[in-house]
Structures are given as structure tokens and as C-alpha cells.
Amino acid sequence: MRYALLAAAILGAVVIALLFSASQDSPLLSENFPKLLAVGAAIAVALVALVGWQFWQLRRRIRAGVFGSKLTLRLMLWFGLVALLPASVVFGASVFFLNRSIESWFDVRVDAALGSGVNLGQAALDDLLADLTKKTERMALSLSDEGAGSVITMLSTLRDQAAIQEVTLFDERGRVIATAAGEKADLLPELPDKSILWQVRQEQAYSRVDDLPGHGLVMRVLVPVYSVAFAGETRVLQSIQAVPPSLARDASAVQEAYRDYQEIAVSRLGLKRLYGVALTLTMFLALLLTIVLAYLLSERLGSPLRTLARGTRAVAQGDFSQMHPVESRDELGALIKSFNRMTRQLSDARAEAERNHLQTEQAKAYLESVLANLSSGVVALDHKLRVRAINDAALRILDAGPENLSGKPLVEWGEPGSSLRQFGEQIAERFVAAEGEDWNAQLEFSRPGQSQNLLARGSKLPVDVQRGYTLVFDDITKLIRAERDAAWGEVARRLAHEIKNPLTPIQLSAERLSLRLTDKLAENDADMLKRATDTIVNQVGAMKSMVDAFASYARMPSAHIAPLDLNALILDVLTLYDGNFIHVELKPGIPLAAGDATLIRQVIHNLLQNAQDALSGQSDGRVSIQTENLENAVRLTISDNGPGFPEHLMARLFEPYATTKPKGTGLGLAIVKKIIEEHQGSIKVENQATGGACVCVTLPVFRKGESQ
């Protein structure tokens, strides 16, 4: 592109130089003039095409929104304007002065002077010619009087007298009769044309000046010679005389000048055209070159701007990696340098921010994992007691989804009237009552079928961290139950120890009283004694069995876990019962459970006993036993169609001493629960919708290497 432009400029300059020199006469250029014009025009057309292409490119780039293209266009137009103004002025002035100077060559006076010069020459020649004609006519007259014999002598004499350069006498047919010539004349006389001879014979003298090449101006006069002696033949006398050299030279010079002047006058329009074309072409080429150059320069100027635009876009998209080479040492280069510096600083700042963010994230993740692995429920509240964060343990304890709690104020937890809402309201009251102080409380969170004891602790966050509160609560239900179990164990042990010991002496004493006194008393008294001692013995026996029961509860043997075929065990236990009212529905092929056969047998006994007791006095009482296979567990379900558990006892069914039976110890279900928990199974008690109680016991499946 740049080289093509340079070549075009050089070629254009050469063409223009040649064009200007073409006005001088140089043979090389005479034939090539149209070609020169054509080459110039071709260059101009090529440049026009180039400019057009550049404009088209620009237009396309402007439409595409390429950054800097508008600037390029504007610079291009400015350059063009800057070039056009002086070029137009110079062009106009040149054309004006050209026309003026060409016109100034032509002057009426010069014209008239040259014309007069030529006329002067003509007049001088005419005079000379007239003089020669007269001399020749005189000679012809002399010749016509002479006889034939002495023509040559006569002619020579006459020539000498008249001082004529060359005299020749022709006969009628143009043949030379005699000739006489001076020293300067050629050897052979010049022969006249037939037409001239014919003209002369018609008695018309011929007199002309010829501009013979190599001879200069030569006068020639032909006159007829009449003579009786020639028998009526008309002879022709020709005399030739060169114009005197000084006159000839001057006349020729005037003529040459006149000719040149006239030629230039004829061709002045052409001259104007020539210079006009050359000038126009020059200006056009210069203008086009300027515009093309303007485009290139604008591109060059705009390239740092484009670089900056590219960089800005990259930065806007978050790419700080692009560094742009600084090519120029001017302000634009400095700008790019500053931009690079800014990008680097931005990049550093962002990296720093990212690092900080990462650290924060890590700290937060660490905190969250700690919170998530806490068994305590942790709830973060803002200053309006809205939940900001809540950990998994809290959700598990409250048995609620995060969507019910997150972002909600405490008093709007759960559905209105639900236990969750009540719990939330309780805590909110505590926070309000504490007035910013820390508080501890044991709260009951009771839901249908389940009651939990929660130990909650509320505290206010330090003011300099963030305004808000934290609530931490633990499910201490199991802890309380364990405490209660331990207490009951202690009671049982005490009973065994403190009560059972006196029972044997009491029984022995009663028996001895009966043995010793029965014979000594009267029959009435003996009977009374016997009844009394029997009563004592029986009651002591009953008390002993009750104490044993407590003792067995307190000293529950630890379970020996072994593979246990639950179905076989159930069938074995059922042999002891009247099978009429028991409906057995065992699933064949259930996996072996992990359990202690002795303890599980007691569980089944206890549950069946309970059911049987519940159905006493009911003629259509039925008990059903089912086994099921669960995932990694087996389930035993014992249900009846009796009255079911009383609702008020549901929460404390598994506590010792909770019984519905008039004679029960209230230890049956407590023992069952203890055994199942020792097996890491679960037990669930509920009243069926159709009436009657239902107890579900789930035991884990036995796995090898798990026993003990």
C-alpha cells in the first residue's frame, strides 16, 4: 500500500514533468503525448479508486461501530480540506496567470509590425522582379531584331549589359537554343514547366520569386521573343537572378518570425489547453495523494486510540492481562503507558480483593462446618429478631425446613397455633424480657406424639460486631430421661436392699406365729390367726415379687448381640399362648436381626401380655403380630383392637410406673424400651385410627463382625 502509493506519486510526478516539457518541441514526446495523458489519467483514476475504496472501508467501519473510524474520517476530511484550499488557490492563480501570459505574447502592434515587415519584403522583391522583367523584355526586344546566326553572342552581350545572372533562350517546344550565365550560375540552365511556356507563348510574361531550398530567393522571369526571322516561331527568353543576399536574408528572417508568430497565434488555444491539462492533472493528483496520505496518517494517529479502546473493552470484561506495546513517544504513547499502569494496578487490586474474599469464604466455610457439626442448634438473629442463619442441628431438633425459618421473625415461625410458633413466641418473650442480657432457660417443645426438653441460651452480640442475637439450644430430652432412668434404678436397688431384707423375717415370723399358736388357741382364734398369717405371707410374697421386678429392671443384664431369627423366636413364644385370638402374619425370608434372644423374647412376652391385658373382658379381642423387612432393619408390629392407650399417658408411656392396669407395676414398656434401646433399635407406640393400640419395634439387621 505505502509502496504502491509512493510509486504512484513518483509516476505522477514524472508524467507531469513530461507533460510540462511537452510544450517544447521534442520529437520523443510528440507521438507519446496522448499516452502521457492516458497514463496521467490512469494514475488519477487509480487514485480515485483508492480514495473511493478508503471511503467505502471507512463507511463500513463506521457502520460496524469500529472505534476511531469516525476520527479517521474527520481527519481525512480535514486533511483534504487543508490540501484543497491552497491547491485551489494555486490552481486558479496558475490558470489565470497562464492565460494572461499566453495572451500577453500576442500584441496587435507586434502583429502589425511583422505583417508590415513581410509586406516590405514583398514590395522589395516586387521592385526587383519588375526591374528584372523590364531588363528581360528589353533583351527580348533586342533579340527579336537580330538574325539567327549571332544569337549566342548577342545573348551573352545582352546578359553582360543587363548584369543578369543567367539568361536562356528556349524554342517553342522548350528546347534550349542558347544560354548565357555568369560565374555564379549552374552549368545547366533551369528548364521551365510546359504550363509556364504555354502561358508565356500566350503573350503573358511570367515573373515569380521562388524560395528554392539551397539557393535562397531566386527571381525568374520568362518573356516571349517575337521575330520574323524565326518564321513566326515564338521563342521564350528566361532570365534568372538571385535576390541580393542581404535583402534575401532580412526578408527570410522577417518571414520566419512572421510564420512563428502566426503559428503560435494559431496554436495558443492548444497551449492553454496543454498547460491547463497539466495543471489540472497536477492538482488532481496532488489532491488525491493528499487524501490517500491523510487516510494513512489518520490510521496511524488512530491506532493508539484503537489500542486504548481495545484495552478498555478488555478491562470492562474483566481481562487485566492485556498489555499494549507503546509505539509512539508522544502524548498518545504516554496515555497508553498510563493506561497500562492503571490496568496493572486494577489487576493487583482485584487479585488482592479476590484473596481477601477467598479468605473470608474459607473462614465462613470453616465456621459453617463447625456450626453444622455441632449437636446444639444455633440460630443467629438480627436486631429485630429475624433469623439470619440457622444450622442443621437446629433444624433437626425443631424438625422444620429452612424455608419455614430463614429470614422470619421468631414470632412468625411455623403456622399460627402450631407448637413451632409457640416455641418461637416463648423465645421472643425471653429475649424481650432479658433486655439485652444473656438468659438461660429450659423450655418444653411439645409436638403431637413427642415432647422435647430444650435447654436454650440467648445472648446479645457485642455491639461492635453487629447488632443482633444468638440463640443456642440443646435437646436434653434424652439426658433427662437417662437421669430419670438412673433415679428409678436407684429406687429399685434401694427397694431390693432396704425392703426385701425385712420381708423374710416378717414372713418367717408370721409362719412361726401360725405354727406355734395354732394348737394353743381356740378354734375361732386359730382360724383368725391362720387367715392373718396367710395374709401376711401372701402379701410378703407379692411384695417380694414386686421388689424382684424392680430389681430386675434396675439390674437389666447387658445384651449379647447375636444373629436372631425373629420369626422363629415369635413362633416359639406363641406356643405358650392361646392361639385363638392371635393373628400371625410373618413375612418369610426376612434377614437375621441383631439381638439377644432372651431379651427379645421378654420384649415379645411383655408386649403380648400388654395386649392380652388390654383385651380382657372383650369377647372379640384380637391381637395381630406382623414382621416386615425394612432397609437394613426388620420390624415387628403388635397391634390389638382394644381401647388403645389413654392420650394423657402417651408422652410418658415408657417411664417406669406409668400404667393403665390396676395391678401393673408400670415397668413392662419401660423394660421393653430399655432393651430396644440397648439393641440400637427403635420403638414407636400409637393408637390406630380404627381403634386399638399398635407398637412397632424395629431392630437392625445383623452384620458380621458386629456382635459385641
Partner 1 sequence: MPFCNVLSRALIILFCLFAATPPALAGKPEESITIQSAQLKQSGENWVLDAAASVKLNKTQEEALKKGVTLHFVTDFELERVRSWWLNESLIEANRIGRLNYSPLTRRYQIETTEGYKAFDTLPEALAGLGLIEGWVITPKKALKQGERYLAAMRMRLDLGLLSKPLQINALATGKWDVEGDWHEWEVAP
Residues that bind partner 1 (CB under 8 A): 22-25, 29-31, 33-34, 37, 41, 44, 48, 73-74, 77, 80-81, 84, 88, 118, 121-122, 125, 208-213, 217, 251-252, 254-255, 258-260, 262-271, 273-274, 276-277, 280-281, 283-284, 287
- Give the residue with the Cβ less far from partner 1, 296 or 443: 296
Q: What's the full length of the chain, in residues? A: 708
For the bound state, the minimum distance from the C-beta of residue 259 to partner 1, rounded and expressed in Å, comes to 3
Q: What stretches of 456-565 show up as alpha helix (H) in DSSP?
A: 477-494, 500-517, 523-554
Q: In the block, which residue shows the cell 440463640?
A: 471
- Give the residue with the Cβ less far from partner 1, 113 or 374: 113
Contacts of 532 (CB under 8 A, 6+ apart): 510
- Give the residue with the Cβ less far from partner 1, 119 or 345: 119
- Give the residue with the Cβ less far from partner 1, 10 or 48: 48
Q: Is 364 helix (H, G, I), strand (E, B) or coil?
A: helix
- Give the residue with the Cβ less far from partner 1, 36 or 308: 36
Residue type, 169: L
- Give the residue with the Cβ less far from partner 1, 200 or 225: 200
Among residues 112, 123, 111, 121, the alpha carbon closest in space to that of 251 is found at: 121
SS3 content of the chain, % helix, strand, coil (to 5): 60, 15, 25
- Give the residue with the Cβ less far from partner 1, 200 or 669: 200
For the bound state, the minimum distance from the C-beta of residue 324 to partner 1, rounded and expressed in Å, comes to 31
Residue type, 649: L
For the bound state, the minimum distance from the C-beta of residue 122 to partner 1, rounded and expressed in Å, comes to 6
For the bound state, the minimum distance from the C-beta of residue 340 to partner 1, rounded and expressed in Å, comes to 34
- Give the residue with the Cβ less far from partner 1, 271 or 443: 271
Q: How far apart are the first and last CA of the chain?
A: 93
DSSP calls for 604-645? HHHHHHHHHHHTTT-TT--EEEEEEEETTEEEEEEEESS---
* CA angle in degrees (0–180, nearest 5) for 169-170-171: 130
* CA distance linking residue 391 with residue 384, whole number of Å: 19
For the bound state, the minimum distance from the C-beta of residue 272 to partner 1, rounded and expressed in Å, comes to 8
For the bound state, the minimum distance from the C-beta of residue 186 to partner 1, rounded and expressed in Å, comes to 15
- C-alpha cell at position 266: 494559431
- Give the residue with the Cβ less far from partner 1, 206 or 413: 206
For the bound state, the minimum distance from the C-beta of residue 251 to partner 1, rounded and expressed in Å, comes to 5
Q: Which residues in 361-424 belong to E strands, given as ranges?
A: 377-382, 387-390
Among residues 583, 572, 645, the alpha carbon closest in space to that of 610 is found at: 645
CB burial of residue 67 (10 Å; 0-12, 13-18, 19+): middle
Q: In the block, which residue shows the cell 526578408?
A: 251
- Give the residue with the Cβ less far from partner 1, 271 or 701: 271
- Give the residue with the Cβ less far from partner 1, 172 or 260: 260
For residues 675 and 600, the answer to whether their CB atoms sit within 8 Å is yes
Contacts of 65 (CB under 8 A, 6+ apart): none
- Give the residue with the Cβ less far from partner 1, 48 or 367: 48
State whether the Cα torsion 281-286-292-295 is positive or negative. negative
For residues 170 and 235, the answer to whether their CB atoms sit within 8 Å is yes
For the bound state, the minimum distance from the C-beta of residue 10 to partner 1, rounded and expressed in Å, comes to 20
For the bound state, the minimum distance from the C-beta of residue 364 to partner 1, rounded and expressed in Å, comes to 59
**Dihedrals φ, ψ of 615, to 5°?**
-95, 5
For the bound state, the minimum distance from the C-beta of residue 353 to partner 1, rounded and expressed in Å, comes to 46
- Give the residue with the Cβ less far from partner 1, 196 or 625: 196
For the bound state, the minimum distance from the C-beta of residue 209 to partner 1, rounded and expressed in Å, comes to 5
- Give the residue with the Cβ less far from partner 1, 126 or 572: 126
For residues 577 and 608, the answer to whether their CB atoms sit within 8 Å is yes
- C-alpha cell at position 453: 426438653
For the bound state, the minimum distance from the C-beta of residue 102 to partner 1, rounded and expressed in Å, comes to 10
Question: Which uninterrupted H or E stretch holds 569?
Answer: helix 566-574
CB burial of residue 16 (10 Å; 0-12, 13-18, 19+): buried
| Beta strand pairing call for 468-475 and 377-382 | antiparallel
- Give the residue with the Cβ less far from partner 1, 263 or 327: 263
For the bound state, the minimum distance from the C-beta of residue 23 to partner 1, rounded and expressed in Å, comes to 6
Q: What stretches of 22-68 show up as alpha helix (H) in DSSP?
A: 27-63
- Give the residue with the Cβ less far from partner 1, 44 or 695: 44
Q: Which residues in 403-478 belong to E strands, given as ranges?
A: 439-447, 450-460, 468-475
For the bound state, the minimum distance from the C-beta of residue 306 to partner 1, rounded and expressed in Å, comes to 21
Q: What stretches of 575-699 show up as alpha helix (H) in DSSP?
A: 597-614, 668-678
* CA distance linking residue 309 with residue 146, whole number of Å: 118
Q: Which residues in 544-597 belong to E strands, given as ranges?
A: 562-564, 582-585, 593-595
For the bound state, the minimum distance from the C-beta of residue 224 to partner 1, rounded and expressed in Å, comes to 19
How many CA atoms within 13 Å lie on the side-chain side of 134?
6
* CA distance linking residue 542 with residue 540, whole number of Å: 5
Assign residue 466 a region (left: φ > 0; alpha: ψ between -120 and 50; beta: otherwise).
beta
For the bound state, the minimum distance from the C-beta of residue 245 to partner 1, rounded and expressed in Å, comes to 15
